[in-house]
Amino acid sequence: MIAIVDSGATKADWVILDASYKEKFRTVTAGMNPYHVPSAVMLEEISKNADLVAVAKEITHVFFYGSGCSNSRMHTVVREGLMPFFTEAEHVIDHDLLAACYATYKGKPTMVCILGTGSNSCYFDGKTLREETRSLAYILGDEGGGCDLGKRLLQAYFLKKMPKHLGDAFHEEYNLSVDELNKNVYQNQFASAYIASFSTFIAKHKQDPFIQKIIYDAMKSFMENQIMPYPEARSSELNFIGSIAYYYEDIIRAAAAEYHFNVGHIVQKPIDNLVQYHIDYLLNKPQ
pLDDT tens-place string over residues 14-65: 999 998 999 999 999 998 989 888 999 999 999 999 999 999 999 999 999 9
Q: What's the pLDDT at 287?
A: 39
Rounded distance between C-alpha atoms, residue 92 and residue 201, angstroms = 37
- Residue 48 CA: distances (Å) to CA of 51, 162, 185: 9, 40, 24
Report the predicted TM-score, pTM, of the whole model to 2 decimal places.
0.76
Q: In what order do the strands lie in the sheet with 2-7?
A: 23-30, 11-17, 2-7, 61-66, 90-95
Rounded distance between C-alpha atoms, residue 252 and residue 242, angstroms = 12
Domains, the chain, with CATH or none: 2-100+271-282 (3.30.420.40)
Per-residue pLDDT of 119-131, as tens digits, reads: 889 999 888 889 8
pLDDT above 70: residue 286: no
